[in-house]
Structure 1
């Protein structure tokens, strides 16, 4: 049986959702999901509108029912939904009531296993209760910390003979893997809806899942550091700031030249003005891909120059960030070593050996600990704690995807205020 592609319209403006749905259908989408944010924003009118505009396609109402199963299922199906979602975490009686209601009005019930402690046992139970579809789902916030729905899909497939849907950050590759592992319905959201070319993105997923049974290759997973670095290199420091709730960048620390992009873990140096011993010794301690971060305490004498930069290049150190002065900027530009500083001067001091390596420091007004992630580009330098780096990198990528979609709408003639429906969402 041909796998089903369900596109999740997790928008808050109905007009945008309809436009995206139109493009997704052109790329091969089968089911159109009125996402929970859309339903909360627009109510059942979102379901009605999607059904009116796309009558040949199944509309999924992502109600995430937790109580009053019968009335909420009835409400969605009467509005045009072919499938209604209910949370697997709710009581058995709520699921049973929703099953009866869905059947009475000609719809299907999908049980969402998001946040269920034992998804395999729950899948088996909801099948006994009469559910039509069970959904293996890792939510957006869970995706941000590295949880993967494919890790449990295989076991749920063994436990349930009803249709299985899978959702949680899927793209063309992981959607194909999901089908190969037994998914009947693949649910894709942002990797289609936030793409610049929605139709092209949907088509790639469509082609990928249709060919999944013919060529299934399990790809080796990257290390967490490798994946984190790749994610940070795809986004900008403004994306990261937004993902961190408008967090500030380092104050007054700027790139030495345009076009720099760095992302790596910090090797910190607490320095005394111009003393270049500890900054240079830090090069020997740094690993490939690390970034040396220095608090120099002066904009008038430099602890770093071209020779230190060349030494870093030889060892694969990704860059240097200095709260203070740097020198030899003409030569550093020539060798294109990524450097950020708050000032440039020609003079250095002597290597006295004062200071400390890999201590907590303050750089550009921000605390930097050894191992924290440093991301720098033309806009400035951001610091992300080691504990939350992967999550922030994922959230920053979601910010970028949203902006990519908004950029496309602006290029098609809308103003920014129209794109974000500014007047509607102004605080009253």
Structure 2
């Protein structure tokens, strides 16, 4: 228990070992993009190396073999080829491992060649500032969010620098150049063993710290990717507007929390849905409903409505409840008329003709979460919501397809031709004691 707690403290909370394929695919794509970025940065580095070498004054011999240009040229070709491959294929792990070792190896060869290039003792290259690039090459691997390659790069760099130091010590005259005087070390080609050990320790420590940081970041990244995919999946079951309102809330939404707003509510229901269910197979019925909801959802979106709830073939649609809409009543009526147009003009699969009844009401409603602490539904409720639901059912009594209250008619203002509205008188809506003036809206022919 204590060990697992310590590991979680160091490396972060463990993630599920069996990730869904979609999560693995998203992570692999991020890794591929990271390899491209690493390739471009390394190409920039080798270009900087070459530029500095070309511009810097040199005391090198003018004739004979010059190893630095060869090392730079070889590294440029290797980096360019790997960058090209990263755009064509997902680089396998063995190739990446070899590539990381080759990066460090070529850098070490480049550093080693300095004493030949400048005709100095081998200890000369141990003081080369190019050694700083070792840390850049190690840190580059952190872009991939995979600590293995950081450790491989750090291990290769530590072994490489140890080899360079041993080469100096055991080369001709190497032993005589060892000193314990720091000033002598800095002002001559002498070797200070402690200084080289410090460099190796620094390489190891930097690699270890980066690996831990990247492992923690990788676990957080995997959880973030998993949550993002889950959120995208869940957003197909919850309207994007509701999802955005929940995720942008300043605090965790609790049961019973809600806001009172003046909005327009519309209930829709398919006429004769029971009969349709009896004549079609379950699979055929699902296909028809999917096509129907696809058509109606497009219309609802066009007029800034939000599908707050599906219930079988019925929909609860709100205007100005989730997203601001100053013309909410008028847009609700436009939506209902557009749905009627679909009912008249569109023949759905399996030859289905679908007629939709709509009930519309405008007034104050409550927008918020209801349910238990661990199971919430974000919806709208209140007396005016119930009125809209009752109006949808009253369409059966009046033989109509769109019924609206006087409040909706008044809120529409001059946006609709009043001649399209026919009064149905005052109706006692079930659940209300006082009569409600109701109007039938006739779609223009």
Q: TM-score range by the shorter chain?
A: under 0.3
| TM-score under structure 2 length normalisation | 0.24
| TM-score under structure 1 length normalisation | 0.24
Higher strand share: 1
Higher helix share: 2
